[in-house]
Structure 1
Amino acid sequence: MRLVTSPVQRIVGQVFIPVRDMSSAIEWYADLLGFDPGTSSHGGTIFDVPTDGETRLALDANRPDFDVSGPPRFFLWTQDIAATVRHLEGLGTKITSDVEDIGSVFFVQFEDPDGNPLMVCQRR
């Protein structure tokens, strides 16, 4: 067994979600996650989404030519996947998968208005 040491901690500090229209992205994420929309910082290019826990989430409009291809880069937790799907449908969200059961979690995938792939999981 190889013992590796590193000065880099295995702690995620912040996840950045690229967006094109900051004000509409703030409104959509506020509706999705249930917070009062605020104002962006850094000349209107960054918005810190209120989160629970240590990992932070930011909307980032610094590179509007981003590519959304690929799988979700992270997931959010829920305690009720059925209520989550109803909430997503109520927001008119593009849901890109059925609710899937992979044994340890149920999950559903969807897209934000910019086409970013997102996912919500419920522990079994």
Structure 2
Amino acid sequence: MPPPSTLRGVTHPIQRVVGQVFIPVRDMPAAVRWYAELLGFPPGETSHDGTIFDIPTDGETRLALDANRTDFDTAGPPRFFLWTHDIAAVVDHLRELGVVITSDVEDIGSVFFVQFEDPDGNPLMVCQRA
């Protein structure tokens, strides 16, 4: 694990390292199937009495589906994004799955991105470095 964060000679107890992102869902079995299709992993078993599902990730940051609070609000921008090397292939994949795409592919100079929603209305984003 990285050492504590230091800024201007002051050590801070909270590290600037994201450990896990939680995606709120209402129907865990349906959400697991949807994310498995989207991200290409075999659906597995939930934990915590069926309220948590850890999505397999390739990086250090973990991703989990969380059905502990089903009264969540999905308003606002995506809370995180996933990387790709081929944004056009992502758009094709989303269309094949019938996913609600909420933006065109946008070029903001440093990245191209597309936004879309999961079945619960959570805003999601995929980015490609420019």
Q: TM-score, normalised by structure 2?
A: 0.93
Name the aligned partner's letter for residue 28 of structure 2: M
Residues 1-39 of structure 1, C-alpha deviations (whole Å, 9 max, x = no match): x72431100000000000000000000000000000001
CA RMSD for the aligned pairs? 0.9
Structure 1 unaligned segments of length 5 or more: list them.
none
- How many matched pairs? 123
Indicate yes or no: 2:89 matched with 1:83.
yes
In the aligned structure 2, how far is the partner of 1:98 from the partner of 1:65? 29
Aligned to 1:41: 47
Indicate yes or no: 2:62 matched with 1:50.
no
Q: Residue 120 of structure 1: CA displacement? A: 0.1
In the aligned structure 2, how far is the partner of 1:37 from the partner of 1:122? 26
Aligned to 1:95: 101
Match among 100, 118, 122 for residue 116 of structure 1: 122
In the aligned structure 2, how far is the partner of 1:100 from the partner of 1:107? 5
In the aligned structure 2, how far is the partner of 1:79 from the partner of 1:39? 30
In the aligned structure 1, how far is the partner of 2:35 from the partner of 2:90? 14
Aligned to 1:31: 37
Q: Residue 108 of structure 1: CA displacement? A: 0.2
Q: TM-score, normalised by structure 1?
A: 0.97
How is 1:15-26 mapped onto 2 (pairs within 5 angstroms)? 15-26=21-32
